[in-house]
């Protein structure tokens, strides 16, 4: 256990991220390559109790960071799950010690393609090895040691974050008291892979991508990254929410010509352009390649032999949540996870939240999610470890 653990002052401010970074040393990756130095960037909220039993790990999605809640100097908006994490909120920081770390391959402080290559000090770019959800969880697992935590009270995440939560349940069943995979899947659908691949192609076709080596250039592959983000955004919204939000509102036919800047007919087009451009100011194009690839590669049934085997000997209690209009990670995929759990007689609670917000619902439907999460965490607190821990089903 590291002394750093108790030094809460170290957790207040760092120049760029107002998060803490910690060196982890080398890491063997699933692809067979080895990273000689891994740095992990994380943030925490609340206080670790004396028993070290109240720690919750929050796993972020594709474009997230360790900055899940609160405000840093210069922020124009708070952390990405600010409405869910804090005093009296779903993840109540008066009761829980909440931890969130940037994923391996990320661009918010944890080692990734924009980190310096140990050989030449220049950014890795696409020399960076392929990383997987398994590797991301390995880094979190070592962070757990650093923080002196024996068992997470809960591991929670939506989308790619939910994949990490599932990986925790499969790989470290003894180190999690409860697990919350939200708006996620045990394996991305070919449709999801296809959307990710088109986004990656948009980035790699941008001449400013320059085979991933653009960090010291004035022009970055912003156009490609922006297109990738636009595609992503369409898949995060639902048809209904787009209809409600934009309908077919737009400008008149006669005001439009191709090739004119900002010449969009429809509000939905302007919105996507705005979102795409905004994204290029805060995200790294190579990280987009690596993290979407990790999402594509995650395949718990393949890794474990089957979904049922992935959850054998379940000690943890599970909360699985899907959202009715989420077509990127549709409810049927959550129900498959639930079936895999029930086949092991696991203690699993499942909600399909009625929402028209699409995949983004896990970030937006705060009221309903707060009730669901709070009730679940209370239940875990009262009941502790699952009774079915040692009686896996023979079904």
Please identify every residue annotated as catalytic: 159, 326, 359
Candidates 133, 160, 227, 319: give the one binding a second copy (CB under 8 A): 227
Cβ 193 to a second copy, closest distance in Å?
5
Q: Is 13 in the site for a second copy (CB under 8 A)?
A: no
Interface pick for a second copy out of 60, 67, 95, 223 (rule CB under 8 A): 223
Which DSSP string corresponds to 71-108? --TT-SS--TTTTTEETTSSEETTT-EEEEEPPTT-SS
The sign of the CA dihedral 187, 189, 190, 195 is negative
The answer to whether 262 contacts a second copy (rule: CB under 8 A) is no
> Restricting to residues 276-335, which ones interact with a second copy according to CB under 8 A?
286, 289-290, 293, 296-297, 299, 302, 327, 330
- CA distance linking residue 33 with residue 241, whole number of Å: 43
Closest to a second copy by CB, 205 vs 278, is: 205
User: In the complex with a second copy, which residue's Cβ is closer, 235 or 386?
Assistant: 235
CA distances from 190 to 114, 187, 197, 212, 320 (A): 28, 9, 10, 25, 22
Q: Strand pairing of 347-353 and 178-182?
A: unpaired
Q: Which token pair is 17?
A: 């991220």
Q: Which residues pair with 23 in a beta bridge?
A: 39
Query: In whole angstroms, how close is the CB of 264 to a second copy at the nearest point?
Result: 7
Among residues 26, 257, 390, 395, which is the contact residue for a second copy, using CB under 8 A? 257
Distance between terminal CA atoms of the chain?
41
Contacts for 78 with CB less than 8 Å, ≥ 6 apart: 69, 70, 71
- The nearer residue to a second copy, 267 or 385, going by C-beta atoms, is 267
- Select the residue interacting with a second copy from 88, 247, 305, 384 (CB under 8 A): 247
- Binders of a second copy among residues 72 to 131 (CB under 8 A) are 126, 130
Shortest distance, position 259 Cβ to a second copy, whole Å = 5
φ, ψ dihedrals at 178, nearest 5°: -155, 160
Q: How far is the CB of 14 from a second copy (least distance, A)?
A: 29
Q: In this chain, which stretch among 164-172, 259-267, 316-324, 339-347 interacts with a second copy, using CB under 8 A?
A: 259-267
Q: What burial class does residue 361 get, using C-beta atoms within 10 Å of its C-beta: 0-12 exposed, 13-18 middle, 19+ buried?
A: buried
- The C-alpha angle with vertex 63 and arms to 62 and 69, in degrees rounded to 5, equals 115
β partners of residue 251: none
Using rule CB under 8 A, residue 30 touches a second copy: yes
Stretch in the footprint of a second copy (CB under 8 A) among 13-21, 26-34, 60-68, 142-150: 26-34
Closer to a second copy by CB, 88 or 247: give it: 247
The minimum distance between CB 209 and a second copy, in angstroms, equals 9
What tokens were used for 118? 């140990």
Beta carbons of 152 and 98 less than 8 angstroms apart:
no
Which chain residues interact with a second copy by CB under 8 A?
30-32, 126, 130, 132, 187-191, 193-195, 197-198, 201-202, 204-207, 211-212, 223-224, 226-227, 230-231, 233-234, 237, 239, 242-243, 245-248, 253-254, 256-259, 264-266, 268-269, 272-273, 286, 289-290, 293, 296-297, 299, 302, 327, 330
């Amino acid at each position: 256990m590291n002394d750093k653990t108790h030094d809460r002052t170290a957790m207040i401010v760092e120049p760029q991220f107002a998060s803490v970074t910690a060196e982890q040393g080398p890491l063997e990756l699933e692809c067979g390559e080895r990273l000689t130095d891994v740095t992990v960037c994380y943030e925490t909220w609340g206080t670790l109790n004396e028993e070290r039993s109240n720690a919750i790990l929050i796993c972020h999605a594709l474009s997230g960071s360790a900055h899940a809640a609160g405000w840093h100097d210069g922020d124009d908006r708070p952390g990405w799950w600010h409405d869910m994490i804090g005093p009296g909120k779903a993840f109540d920081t008066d009761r829980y010690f909440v931890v969130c770390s940037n994923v391996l391959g990320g661009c918010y402080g944890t080692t990734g393609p924009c980190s310096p290559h140990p050989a030449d000090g220049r950014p890795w770019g696409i020399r960076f090895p392929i990383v997987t959800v398994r590797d991301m969880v390995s880094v979190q697992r070592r962070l757990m040691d650093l923080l002196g935590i024996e068992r997470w009270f809960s591991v929670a995440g939506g989308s790619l974050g939910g994949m990490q939560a599932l990986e925790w349940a499969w790989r470290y069943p003894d180190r999690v008291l409860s697990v919350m995979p939200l708006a996620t899947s045990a394996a991305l659908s070919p449709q999801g892979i296809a959307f990710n691949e088109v986004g990656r192609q948009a980035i790699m076709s941008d001449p400013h991508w320059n085979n991933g080596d653009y960090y010291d250039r004035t022009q970055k592959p912003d156009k490609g990254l922006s297109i990738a983000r636009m595609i992503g955004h369409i898949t995060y919204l639902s048809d209904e929410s787009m209809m409600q939000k934009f309908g077919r509102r737009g400008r008149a036919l006669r005001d439009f010509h191709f090739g004119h800047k900002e010449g969009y007919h429809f509000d939905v087009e302007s919105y996507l352009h705005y979102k795409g451009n905004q994204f290029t100011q805060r995200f790294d194009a190579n990280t987009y390649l690596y993290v979407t690839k990790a999402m594509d590669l995650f395949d718990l049934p393949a890794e474990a032999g089957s979904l049922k085997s992935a959850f054998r000997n379940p000690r943890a209690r599970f909360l699985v949540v899907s959202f009715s209009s989420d077509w990127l990670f549709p409810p049927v995929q959550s129900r498959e996870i639930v079936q895999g759990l029930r086949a092991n007689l696991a203690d699993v609670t499942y909600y399909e939240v009625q929402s028209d917000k699409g995949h983004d619902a896990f970030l937006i439907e705060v009221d309903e999610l707060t009730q669901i999460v709070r009730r679940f965490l209370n239940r875990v607190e009262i009941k502790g470890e699952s009774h079915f821990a040692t009686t896996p089903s023979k079904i």
